[in-house]
Structure 1
C-alpha cells in the first residue's frame, strides 16, 4: 500500500495520495498544470501496478475477478484430489509389493498433473510476486511463489532421480487452499462494493426528457442537467434528484430512507434518483443528476469506508511488510542450519520449503481488512454508511451517547397536541386559513384537521405577514392565525411551541405543537442503557421543551439552551473525565460537536456540514441504527483481535515445529491455508444476516 502511495507522490505536482487495497483505488490530489492522471498511471506501472482512471474502470470487474479465481480453484482442487489419490497409492505400496517401476510411473503422472496446474492456478501469485520484485519491494506473494516453485522444482528433480521424497501434493494443495481463501476475500469485497454500486445502476437508465414545447425524447440519465424536466411513468425509477412539477402519486423511497411504506408526493415534493414510481405518472424538474445525486453520494460514502487507514489496519499492514523479509530469513536459516547439522541438501531444502509455506503472512494481512469490509457491509444493509475506517474502532470504545433534539431524537416535524379537544368548527376554520402556508406549524395544523375532519376547505385571499402570521377578511370579521402578539394575546411561553387563532372579538384559541420523537426513540435509549452506556440530551431549544422531550425518551441527563460552544465544552468536560462520547446530531450547529466527539453519527436528512463532520450516516426515521452501529463496532473489534490472535498463535506454534523438521510441506500447506480461510470465514459471520 505504501509502495503505491510513494510511487504516486514521486510524480511532480502530486500533493497527496492515499491507497486502499480493499477498494483497489488510489485517491490523489494534484496540480493539473504540473501533471495529469496519465503520469500517475505511468508511475504506478513502473513499480508493477496496473492502473486506470476511475472513469475507465466504472464497469465493475468484481464478477470477472471472482470467475478468474474460481476457475483456478476448480483446477487446483481437481488436481489436488487426483495427486492425493496417487500419493496414497504410492504410500500404501511402500514397503509392500508395489513394483518400483509402477511407483515411479505414479510419480511422473503426479508431475504431469502438477506442472500445468501450478503454472495455471499459481498465476495470481506469480504475477503479483513478479510485480512486487519488479518494483523492488516484497509482498506476501513472494514467499508463497518461492515456496510453490521450490516444492515443484525439487519434486521434479527428485522424480528424475527416482527418489521417494516428492511433494507435488503439497504444492498443489497449498495452491488450492490459498485460492479458496483469496476467492472468499474477493467475494466479501465484491459484495461490500457491489451493494453500493448496485444503487448507482438504478439511476443509470434511459429517461423521458420533456422539452419546453411538450415533445418527449429518450435520453441517458447521465445526460440530464438541473432544470430539465423528465416524465416518470408508473413502474419506472426516477433518473435524477428533483421536485414534482406536475402530478400526484406514491413512490417507494426505501432505497433512500429505508422505509418500506409508500410515500405520497404532489407538486413541490422532493424525489430522489432510484425512487420507484408506484401509482401515477409524474413530471419532475431535475435539481441534481448523475454524480451529484443522493444515490451517488451514498455510494461515495460507502466507498469512503474502505479509504484511509485505521489504527489496527495500519498495524496489520506494517506487520505484513516486516514479515516478508523475516520469512525469507527464517527459510534461509532453516536451510543453512540443517546443512550445518549434517543433513542432506534435499532434506534441508524440504524443511526450508515447509518454513516458507507455514510462515506465509496471509492470515496476519487479512486479519483486519476482511473484518472492516464485513462490518461496513453489515451496516450498509442496515441503513448505515461508514465514512471513515477508524470510526468502527472508535464507536466500539464509547461509553456515553449524546443526542441532539430537533431532527435527531425527534423527526423535526411538529405535531398538534390535543387536537381532539379543539372544537371542530374552530379547527376547520384555522386549518382553512393555514392551508395556503408552507410553514411547518401550518402544515401540522392542516394534517391534524384532515385526520379528524376528513378534508379542509382552502381559504381565499389570505395575506401572510412575514414573522407574524396569516389573516383573511370576511364580510363579518377578520380572522388571524399566528403569533400571540399578532392575535392580540399577551404572553404565552410554555414547554411547547404555540400558534394562536382569533376570529373578530371572539376568545383566542391556542394551538400547541411539539416535535414528534422518532418512532423508536424510547426503545433505542433503553437499549443503549441496557448496554451500560450513559445517555444525554443536549439542545439549543428552551429548557422546558428539552425537559419534556427527555422525559418522553427516557433520558435522565439533559441540558437546554446550549450554543455550539456550550456543546463542545460539555464534550470536553466528558473527555477530561475519561469518557468517550458518541455524538448524534443533524444541524449546522451540531457540526462542531460532531467533530469534537470521540465518534459521531448524523441522519441522512442532516445539513451537509454535519454529514461531513460525522463518522457515520444513517437513513430512515428510526434511531435503531445507532445501537446497530455500536454493536457492529464492538463485534468488529472483537473479531479483529480474534483474527490477530489466530495469526499470532498459529505462527508461535507452527514456525518452531517447521524449523525443527516436524512439519512436511504438505502439512504446512494445509495448516497455513486453513489459518487464512479461518480469519476470512470469521469475518463473514459479521457480514451475514438479513436487514432487521
Structure 2
C-alpha cells in the first residue's frame, strides 16, 4: 500500500518547482500584501506568492528554471519592501524589536506631551485674561519647542518610515497624512517661534503622536498573540530516530538524515519518526493526535504508520517511506501554514477606509490652502488652516476604532474563559454562518470513562490496570485510585497484560487474549478474569460534555447551521450526534478531507467556524473563516485556532459568538462616529473656526468617545 493511499493528498510534492521563503518586515497591511503578491506574480516563471502578515513571511513558488532568491529579493526592493531569507528566529527577533521600538516611542511621546504642555499652558492661559508679556511668551514657546520638537521627531519615526516607504513604492497609506500633518505643525510652530508670532503647536504634534502610538501598540499586541502552528506540529516529530546500519546495529540518527528506504526501530513509548511500513513486530498505535480516533489501532507487518503517531506497546522494525519533510505530519504543517496565509487576506475595515481617507484628506488640505490664499488670506494663515485640516481629520479615532473594541472584547472573553489570539478573529467570528465540530475532546470530554462501574470488579482488576500504559487501562486504574500492582507482570503487545494477584494468575485485555471469541458490542471494552474462572467485561465511553446539547440549541437559535466531522468510527460519531441534536455528521474523516469539507462549505457561500482539538483538525482550523479549540487541545491545534476556551463547558463557543457580534456592532458604530466627526470637523477647520491646538483637542476628544463606546462591548443585554 502506498503512503498516498493511506493519507491521500498530503505527501505529494511538486518536483518541478522551487519554494523560497523570505522575511519582509515592511509588510503591514492588506495593501502591502496585494502589492507584493501582484508585483512578484508579474515576474516570469513565478507560480505563486503569498504573504503571511502574522509573521511577515513571504512564500514564493518558482517553476524551474526561474528566478533565483537574489532576483526575488531585488524585485522586492524595487517594490519598496527590503527582504531577507526567512529565519524563524530572525522573524521573532524582528517582532520583538518592533514592540520595543513602539514602547520606547510611546514613552518619549508621553514625556514630550506632558512637558511641552507645561510650557504651552501659560500661553493658552491668555484666553482667560492672563496675558503674558511678549518676551515671556517667546521664551515659553522656545521651551515648548526644545522639549516637544525632538520628542515628536523621535516618536514619529514609525510613521515617517512607513510613509516614506509607501511614497517610494508609488502609493500613499494612512501614515502619509499623519507624517505631513506632524511635520508641517512643527515647521509652522518653529516659524512662529522664530518670528515671535502668537501661537505654537509643539504640544499638539507630540500629543497626536502619543495617541496614535497607543493604537499602533494595541494592534502589535494583538498580532503578537498569533503564533505559528506549523512549528508546533513539527515539534511532535521525533528529533532523533534509531536507524539500523548494514550490520543491524542500532544507531541514533538525526531525523533530517533519514531517507526513504532506511530501516528503523521504534520502541514502545516512542513516536513514529517518519512515515514508514512495518516489516516485523506488532504494536498498538495511538493515532488520536492524527485522526481523532479514541481507541488504539493494532499494526503489524505490511501496515503503514504515520509520523507523529505514538507506539504504545511492542517493538517495531519499520522501513521509512519518506523523508521527515515529506511526511504526512509535515504535509499537515504545510496545510496549516497555507491556511494561515489565506486567513491573512482578511481586509479590516480600517484598511478599507484608508483607501478613501488618504486622497480625500490630502485634497481637502490642499484646497484649504489654495482657496484661503486665493480669497485673500496670507500664506501663513492659509497654511495654518490646511494644517488644522490635517490634524483634526487625523485617523486617530479611525485607528482606535477596531483595536479598542478588540482589546475590550478580548478582556471580557478572558473573564469568561476564552482567550483571543488574533485581532481580526473577532471580526471573522461575528460573520460565521456554519459551525463544524470535531467529536472527541470537543463535543465529548476526550477521556475514556468506565460505564456503570462495579466497585468490587474494579478493585479486582485494578492491580493489572495500574501496570499498563494502555488508555483504557489507565481509565480503569483512575477509577480505582491508588493501590497495589500485580506481581510478575507480563505485557503482551497489542493483546493485554497478565500477572499474579493474590497468588492467582489473571489477565486484562482483549476478549481473544482471555480465550473468548466474543464480538464487540459497539463499545470500547476490556475483559478481565483469573485463569479457569469467569470473565468480566468493562465497557468504556467518552462522555458528552454536559452543556453540549444546550450549546447546539443556542447556536441554531442564532441562525447557524451545525455539523460534525470526526476521525472516529461512524458508530461513535452517530451516538454523539444523536445525543447533542446534530443531524449532519460524518465519521472516519481524514485531515485532508476535513480541510476539503471546510473549503467546500466556503465555496458554497458559508463562513465556517471550525471547533477542533486534535492534530487531524489543525489544517481545517487554519483554513476555516474562524477557529476555536479547547484548552485541553494539542498545542498545535490551539495555535492554529483564533480563540481557545478553557474549562469543561462548550457554551463558551456561544458566548464568544455573542461578544464577537457585539464587537462588530461597536466597531461599526465607531466608524460611523468617526465619519460624522470628520464631516463636521473638516469644514470647521477649512473655515478657520479652529486652530491646530483646538484641532488636536477635538481629535483627542473623538478618540476618547471611540474608546468609551468600545467599553460597551459584550455587556449583558
TM-score normalised over the length of structure 1: 0.66
1:261-297, Cα deviation, whole Å (9 max, x unpaired): xxxxxxxxxxx9xxxxxxxxxxxxxxx9xxxx99xx9
Q: Does residue 6 of the first structure (1) align with residue 31 of the second (2)?
A: no
Residue 58 (structure 1) shift: 3.6
* CA distance 1:225–1:42, shift in 2 (3 Å): same
1:456: which partner in 2? 485
State whether residues 524 and 539 of structure 2, in contact with CA within 8 Å, keep that contact through their aligned partners in structure 1. Answer: yes
The one of 60, 65, 69 aligned to 2:101 = 65
1:317: which partner in 2? 351
Q: Map 1:461-472; keep pairs closer than 5 Å.
A: 463=492
Backbone CA RMSD of aligned residues: 6.0
The one of 81, 105, 108 aligned to 2:117 = 81
Which shifted more, 372-381 or 334-343?
Answer: 372-381
Q: Map 1:176-195; keep pairs closer than 5 Å.
A: 176-186=207-217, 189-190=220-221, 193=224
Q: What secondary structure is seen at the aligned counterpart in 1 of 2:665?
A: helix
Q: What secondary structure is seen at the aligned counterpart in 2 of 1:493?
A: coil
1:556: which partner in 2? 581
1:407: which partner in 2? 441
CA distance in 2, matches of 1:486, 1:391: 53
CA distance in 2, matches of 1:305, 1:574: 19
State whether residues 573 and 587 of structure 2, in contact with CA within 8 Å, keep that contact through their aligned partners in structure 1. Answer: no
1:308: which partner in 2? 344
CA distance in 2, matches of 1:57, 1:476: 62
CA distance in 1, matches of 2:437, 2:492: 39
State whether residues 603 and 617 of structure 1, in contact with CA within 8 Å, keep that contact through their aligned partners in structure 2. Answer: yes
Residue 627 (structure 1) shift: 4.1
* CA distance 1:151–1:417, shift in 2 (3 Å): closer
State whether residues 117 and 203 of structure 2, in contact with CA within 8 Å, keep that contact through their aligned partners in structure 1. Answer: no
Q: What secondary structure is seen at the aligned counterpart in 1 of 2:454?
A: helix
Which shifted more, 375-384 or 343-352?
Answer: 375-384
State whether residues 608 and 626 of structure 2, in contact with CA within 8 Å, keep that contact through their aligned partners in structure 1. Answer: yes
CA distance in 2, matches of 1:108, 1:592: 60
CA distance in 2, matches of 1:390, 1:666: 34
The one of 605, 628, 637 aligned to 2:664 = 637
CA distance in 2, matches of 1:394, 1:675: 26
2:451: which partner in 1? 417
Q: Does residue 131 of the first structure (1) align with residue 165 of the second (2)?
A: yes
Q: What secondary structure is seen at the aligned counterpart in 1 of 2:543?
A: strand
Residue 506 (structure 1) shift: 4.7
1:260: which partner in 2? none
CA distance in 2, matches of 1:333, 1:188: 33
1:14-43, Cα deviation, whole Å (9 max, x unpaired): 65555566x572423254985566665555
2:6: which partner in 1? none
State whether residues 181 and 680 of structure 1, in contact with CA within 8 Å, keep that contact through their aligned partners in structure 2. Answer: no
2:472: which partner in 1? 441
1:444-474, Cα deviation, whole Å (9 max, x unpaired): 33443x42x82231554565676xx677899
1:618-662, Cα deviation, whole Å (9 max, x unpaired): 677664653454345334423432332232122122122222332
List alignment gaps of at least 5 residues for structure 2: 1-28, 241-252, 258-266, 271-288, 290-307, 309-323
Q: Does residue 27 of the first structure (1) align with residue 58 of the second (2)?
A: yes
* CA distance 1:386–1:650, shift in 2 (3 Å): same
1:253: which partner in 2? none
TM-score normalised over the length of structure 2: 0.64
Q: Map 1:246-645; keep pairs closer than 5 Å.
A: 308-311=344-347, 313=348, 315-368=349-402, 391-398=425-432, 401=435, 403-420=437-454, 422-423=456-457, 427-428=460-461, 431=462, 438-448=469-479, 450-451=480-481, 454-458=483-487, 460=489, 463=492, 481-483=509-511, 487-488=515-516, 493=521, 496-501=523-528, 506-518=533-545, 521=548, 549=576, 555-558=580-583, 562=587, 564=589, 582-586=609-613, 599-602=626-629, 623=650, 626-627=653-654, 629-645=656-672
Q: What secondary structure is seen at the aligned counterpart in 2 of 1:27?
A: strand
Residue 416 (structure 1) shift: 1.8
CA distance in 2, matches of 1:571, 1:74: 47
Residue 331 (structure 1) shift: 1.3
Q: Does residue 666 of the first structure (1) align with residue 693 of the second (2)?
A: yes
CA distance in 2, matches of 1:461, 1:109: 86
* CA distance 1:446–1:227, shift in 2 (3 Å): farther
* CA distance 1:69–1:244, shift in 2 (3 Å): farther
1:472-503, Cα deviation, whole Å (9 max, x unpaired): 89999996852389754666636x43444455
* CA distance 1:669–1:24, shift in 2 (3 Å): farther
Residue 419 (structure 1) shift: 2.2
* CA distance 1:26–1:367, shift in 2 (3 Å): farther
State whether residues 226 and 642 of structure 2, in contact with CA within 8 Å, keep that contact through their aligned partners in structure 1. Answer: no
* CA distance 1:26–1:160, shift in 2 (3 Å): same
CA distance in 2, matches of 1:683, 1:70: 22
* CA distance 1:458–1:547, shift in 2 (3 Å): farther
2:280: which partner in 1? none
Q: What secondary structure is seen at the aligned counterpart in 2 of 1:413?
A: strand
* CA distance 1:497–1:530, shift in 2 (3 Å): same
Which shifted more, 173-182 or 605-614?
Answer: 605-614
Q: Does residue 646 of the first structure (1) align with residue 673 of the second (2)?
A: yes
State whether residues 4 and 44 of structure 1, in contact with CA within 8 Å, keep that contact through their aligned partners in structure 2. Answer: no
CA distance in 2, matches of 1:462, 1:20: 49
CA distance in 2, matches of 1:310, 1:177: 28
CA distance in 1, matches of 2:595, 2:222: 38
State whether residues 434 and 562 of structure 2, in contact with CA within 8 Å, keep that contact through their aligned partners in structure 1. Answer: yes
Residue 330 (structure 1) shift: 0.8
State whether residues 129 and 139 of structure 1, in contact with CA within 8 Å, keep that contact through their aligned partners in structure 2. Answer: yes
Q: What secondary structure is seen at the aligned counterpart in 2 of 1:510?
A: strand
* CA distance 1:377–1:512, shift in 2 (3 Å): same
